[in-house]
Chains A and B, each alone.
Chain A
Amino acid sequence: MAKKRTIRTIPQERTHAREQDPRERSRNFSEVTCVFSVEDALRESERCLFCPDPACVEGCPVGIDIPGFIRKIGEKDFRGAYDVITDANLLASVCGRVCPQETQCEGPCPVGENLEPVAIGRLERFVGDRAIKERWTSVPHIEPNGFRVGIVGSGPAGMACAADMAKAGCEVTVFEAFHVPGGVLRYGIPDFRLPNEVIDAEIDNLRKLGVRFECNTLVGRLFTIEQMIGEMGFDAVFIGTGAGYPRFMGIPGDSLNNVLSANELLTRCNMMCARDPGHDTPLPLGRRVAVVGAGNTAMDATRVCKRLGSEKVYCIYRRTKAESPARFEEVHHAEEEGIEFHWLTTPIEILGDGKGNVRGMRCIRMELGEPDESGRRGPVPIPGSEFEFEADTVVIAIGTHANPIIGQTSRLKLNRRGYIEVDGNLATSLAGVFAGGDIVTGAATVIEAMGAGRKAARSMKTWLGIRDTDTVYLPERAGSDDKLFGIDFAEKSFARVHLTSPERASGGDTTLTIRP
């Protein structure tokens, strides 16, 4: 490494990825943001200060060694960068695209204090996409340990958990209710943000680790969680079924035809390919579509409608742009594509045409009052400000409730709102059963679900008595302060060193016992 980098010596301008022109892209489903070129990636990698105590790693829910992979990019060792990322995260291409980097890794980046932060997400995607193109996979040597692990749900939480358990040597089976794996990545996130080929590639990587996917399997109804632990012989089970029971508004006109949940819209469009005339699933949209809500799902919904040919797409949200839960980039892209935002507006009635169809919507203007329990200023209706406008389709994207199926069919303890109750290690009330992701926390992000999947995997390994093998792939990091012989103190793997025979136990202490 040459001279030490400082904020003054690094390239001052953040490298921007090329984007499809808004007018062009609002008519197609190709990706909006193009991947970095090699030059882009090299230039951007020079902006990393390689902080000794990197805040970005702290901010990453799965703890990717971010300076580590950026350093490899700088050395043009892209394969090496991929290996560093895949130590922590198998889904580089997915996360580089859909993570809210601005609040996670890029948010605390010190470069961002004076300049724009390092484009970590773009760099991650650059590496991930290159791996797909070059067909790289990080398949380590796996020593089978005979344990069988069942995973319920093939979304991000399940995929992350499956990867870690497979690497640890377990025989992993992932059960998915749909006919294709991927969960929310498949049905929820549209192609222009996350192409299906990327999901296919990431799932293929899991298969290469030995993970088996069983689609068309509705756990709870086809067999129960208790049966998995019992008669089916799984040694541990992870539940990552997601939240996904869409909320409706409970206002008059809610059940009119052409009022649909964002989940339904997105599933029909993304998974069932309704936009393709060669597929049978219908998805009729009107000329004017109103999308209620301003989260990432709402943004996806508005942009899908625009691409499917709706002339006017409105986004209705009761607070302001500042409070909208969507990523800044998503709102920005939607605005560019001509989505009309109506901030500080709440629907009070969906108007019917007398034949069961939507003809318009009645809304009321809001203003911001005192901060509520979420810390955001609560919207308060302005009396007398009701107004109507015409619309022929209404898409509801105001969040989800817990899916009831696992609760209906098992003795698992649920919380008041129907989500699965877990302890700090993501263990549920049933021995050997762990849960994580939206079915525990309520709707959150892809990477948070993946973080939960990995955390559950660590707990599962502890529970099964498997020594954590994460560090096997990290020789260069094994010597750091918190590790001894490549064993992470935080993992407390030592407690699981087994005595093989009573003689050994009595006759002299041959067992390694180390206290951190």
Chain B
Amino acid sequence: MPGTRKDSSFEIVAREDFSDVTFLLEIRHPLMAKAAQSGQFVIVMSHAEGERIPLTLADFDRGKGTITLVVQAVGKTTREMQQTCQVGASLHALVGPMGVPSRASGAKKVVCVGGGLGVAPVFPQARGFKEAGAYVIGVIGFRTWKLIFWEDRFRSCCDELILCTDDGSVGVKGPVTEGVKRAIAAHPDIGEIVAIGPPVMMKACAEATRPHNIRTVVSLNPVMVDGTGMCGGCRVRVGGQVKFACVDGPDFDGHQVDFEDLTTRLKRFAAEEKSALDRWSESCRMKIPPERAVEEALALPDPFEEVAGG
């Protein structure tokens, strides 16, 4: 019941690190767990001076009263969260669920594609389709085998699962579009594809399905401030029209989305983000042992790196 919950008491009740950049947070928010539907997102502020960043809901457990977020530590905010968001800590702000929930299309056979960070938010969609009685083919892609997570969760709700890795260490070698192409080749009767991941991946999926005229839904995650339709920072071009991802989306028809525009707009604060990260890393390096600092400096950028306002 609202009214019993105090502000800023969004407690982190579980955390799991999938790799040195990707981590999962489970946050107690019974009301949101009850309201959440697949395809929606939340806005998080980790501390009072922090920025508001949109994160797609990776899962929600109505029984436990928790929601799940998967965060990739790429920018200052998300890397800071990687350090501070430990079990027992609280987020400064958490609001949602936001956005229009994914519509049930009634498709009988669907492909759910997740690339990199998109693997997490596509999971509730796959589960939703399964619960609606569809035949679900999961296609999930990672850079390498070490970064794989939630394979078991996907196996539990997918009739088929195609794993893709960039380096071929597990499953199909290559991007997720390879998996999509295989799925299309094997199943001529696919009714819908849901693709979530970096813009370049969603664009490639939309191009892969366009010749087959398969309905393709993508979930966009542009830079936002409020997430309630008030700032217009998240505007995207869809079918030649301006839409706000926060209240008109975040799901859109992948064949209609102007990905060039999206990619450009995601770089809006690139310079500020880089300098914020540099400043922050510098201040951290003062505190951490030099050997780890070197390790951090040598860390390769993730190809699925997404500028999620972070």
Contact residues of A with B, CB < 8 Å? 173, 175, 177-179, 187, 212-218, 221-223, 232, 242, 244-246, 248, 250, 254-255, 257-258, 260-261, 263-264, 267-268, 272-273, 278-282, 284, 355-356, 403-405, 408
Contact = CB atoms under 8 A, between A and B. Distances in A.
Contact of A246 (B100, B232, B272): B232
B284 to A, nearest CB: 15
A87 B293 CA distance: 62
A264 B225 contact: yes
Given A248-B232, A267-B230, A403-B230, A222 B268 contact: no
Interface residues of B, number: 52
B265 A263 contact: no
Given A217-B95, A222-B35, 19 more contacts: A175-B2, A177-B228, A179-B45, A213-B7, A215-B93, A216-B94, A221-B35, A222-B2, A222-B95, A223-B35, A255-B261, A257-B264, A257-B268, A261-B232, A261-B233, A279-B49, A284-B272, A403-B247, A404-B248
B148 to A, nearest CB: 31
> 6 nearest interchain CB pairs?
A356-B264, A282-B272, A179-B93, A264-B231, A261-B232, A280-B51
Interface string B268-305: 11011100100000000000000000000000000000
A284 B271 contact: yes
Contact of A212 (B3, B233, B276): B3
A257 B2 contact: no
A61 B98 CA distance: 35
B237 A255 contact: yes
| Residue of B2, B261, B264 contacting most chain A CB atoms (<10 Å) | B2
A221 B100 CA distance: 9
A212 B4 CA distance: 11
Interface in B251-273: 261, 264-265, 267-269, 271-273
B40 interface: yes
Contacts of B225: 264, 267-268, 272, 281
A514 B72 CA distance: 69
Contacts of A404: 229, 247-248
Given A218-B228, A263-B230, A268-B225, A408 B247 contact: yes
Contact of B269 (A263, A267, A284): A284
A280 B76 contact: yes
B52 interface: yes
B96 A280 contact: no
A357 B232 CA distance: 17
A474 to B, nearest CB: 32
Given A212-B3, A216-B7, A260-B233, A178 B35 contact: no
B244 interface: yes
Contacts of A244: 228-230
B215 interface: no
A278 B77 CA distance: 13
B109 interface: no
A10 to B, nearest CB: 46
Contacts of B227: 177, 218
